[in-house]
Amino acid sequence: MAYNLLKGKRGIIFGALNDMSIAWKVAEKAVEEGAQIVLTNTPVAVRMGTINELAEKLNATVIPADATNVEDLEMLFTQAQEAMGGKIDFVLHSIGMSPNVRKKRTYDDLDYGLLDKTLDISAISFHKVMQVAKKLDAINEGGSVLALSYVAAQRSFYGYNDMADAKALLESIARSFGYIYGREKGVRVNTISQSPTMTTAGSGVKGFDGLCDFSDRMSPLGNANADECADYCIVMFSDLTKKVTMQNLFHDGGFSSMGMSLRGMTQYNKSFIDENKDSEGNIIYG
Ligand X SMILES: NC(=O)c1ccc[n+]([C@@H]2O[C@H](COP(=O)([O-])OP(=O)(O)OC[C@H]3O[C@@H](n4cnc5c(N)ncnc54)[C@H](O)[C@@H]3O)[C@@H](O)[C@H]2O)c1
Site membership for ligand X, residue 148 (CB under 6 A): yes
Are 81 and 104 spatial neighbours (Cβ–Cβ below 8 Å)?
no
Pairwise CA distance, residues 63 & 80, whole Å = 8
Q: Which is nearer to ligand X, 64 or 186 (CB)?
A: 64
We find the least distance from the C-beta atom of residue 122 to ligand X, in angstroms, to be: 6
| Alpha helix (H) residue ranges in the chain | 22-32, 43-48, 51-58, 70-84, 99-102, 112-119, 125-135, 163-185, 208-218, 226-237, 262-276
Site membership for ligand X, residue 194 (CB under 6 A): yes
**Binding segment (CB under 6 A) for ligand X, from list 26-34, 172-180, 193-201, 241-249:** 193-201
Q: Which is nearer to ligand X, 13 or 35 (CB)?
A: 13
Site membership for ligand X, residue 190 (CB under 6 A): no
Site membership for ligand X, residue 92 (CB under 6 A): no
x/- track of binding to ligand X for residues 254-273 (CB under 6 A):
--------------------
Burial 231-254 (b: 16+ CB within 10 A, else e): bbbbebbbeebeeebbbbbbbbbe
Taking CB under 6 A as the criterion, the residue among 36, 41, 190, 215 binding ligand X is: 41
Site membership for ligand X, residue 100 (CB under 6 A): no
Q: Which residues contact 129 (CB under 8 A, 6 or more apart)?
A: 14, 67, 73, 91, 93, 145
Residues forming a β-bridge with 93: 147
Pairwise CA distance, residues 182 & 260, whole Å = 38
Phi, then psi, of 124 in degrees rounded to 5? -65, -30
Angle ∠(98,102,108) on CA atoms, nearest 5 = 75
Site membership for ligand X, residue 94 (CB under 6 A): yes
Count of positions on this chain that bind ligand X (CB under 6 A): 27
Taking CB under 6 A as the criterion, the residue among 12, 45, 230, 236 binding ligand X is: 45
Site membership for ligand X, residue 21 (CB under 6 A): yes
**Binding segment (CB under 6 A) for ligand X, from list 55-63, 143-151, 256-264, 273-281:** 143-151
Site membership for ligand X, residue 200 (CB under 6 A): yes
Site membership for ligand X, residue 95 (CB under 6 A): yes
Site membership for ligand X, residue 201 (CB under 6 A): yes
Site membership for ligand X, residue 219 (CB under 6 A): no
Quick count: other Cβ atoms within 10 Å of Cβ 135? 11
Site membership for ligand X, residue 215 (CB under 6 A): no
Q: Which is nearer to ligand X, 52 or 276 (CB)?
A: 52
Burial of 154 (0-12, 13-18, 19+ CB in 10 A): middle
Q: 283: which DSSP letter?
A: B
Taking CB under 6 A as the criterion, the residue among 5, 97, 115, 233 binding ligand X is: 97
Q: Which is nearer to ligand X, 31 or 226 (CB)?
A: 226
Pairwise CA distance, residues 259 & 255, whole Å = 8
Residues at the interface with ligand X (CB under 6 A): 14-15, 17, 21-23, 41-42, 45, 66-68, 94-97, 121, 148-150, 194, 196-197, 199-202
